[in-house]
Amino acid sequence: MDCPLFREPEKPIINTEMLVPPYGNGRSLELEIGPNIKPLPDFDPLPDSMEGPVLLKVGDHISTDEIMPAGSKILPFRSNIPEISKFSFIRIDETFYDRAIAYREKGYFILGGDNYGQGSSREHAVIGPRYLGLRVVIAKSFARIHKQNLINFGILPLTFANNADYDDIEQSDMLVFENLRQGVSREKTLNVTNTTRKETYTVIHSLNDRQIDMVLSGGLINVIRRKG
């Protein structure tokens, strides 16, 4: 049979009877929201230097479901970032939230093995820890979509130049980055000092110019705001 040909109608038929036009320009109207809906928090730009603990060290193939679980107990808070952040890494370490709150302003690090962030593409696996102060994740490798989500919300994903360095760093070790913003902008390799063990490691980022802008600005939303 011949394939039927589709032709655009000369005048589209649009039913507007159930459409209500906005009131004026809408600027004077107040949006009514329920108590469990909170605005997305503001995220600050990447600092020029950073010192903090390895708050959590995890192994290979950590999934987004382990970073931020799903389920009927947690998903009702998906529009309430302060509340849903309380479940960050809860399946790995129930003390993570309380420990992260203590370093929320100064920042901290997470250490990961291979394929960090594999699984579903849920953004809350990034937004929750970001709200709690996470700024840098150092891993052997990242799952592709989770890596981009980290960048989208201003978290710097770094990999080891030498994966054996992963074994030398323990949870609670203090790490220091100097000239972080300049280093990310100009080089693909950075140095991080472990002041607990008096060691320095080389780490790598693979960000393109657009991604660098997002990380330095504190996330994609900040980039759009600046350009708007």
The enclosing domain of 221 has a CATH number of 3.20.19.10
In a domain, 174, yes or no: yes
Write the pLDDT tens digit of every residue in 95-123.
999 999 999 999 999 999 999 999 999 89
In a domain, 75, yes or no: yes
Range of the domain at 132: 50-227
Write the pLDDT tens digit of every residue in 128-159.
999 999 999 999 999 999 999 999 999 999 99
In a domain, 182, yes or no: yes
Domain count, the chain: 1
In a domain, 204, yes or no: yes
In a domain, 139, yes or no: yes
Q: How far apart are CA 206 and CA 222, in angstroms?
A: 21
In a domain, 23, yes or no: no
In a domain, 28, yes or no: no
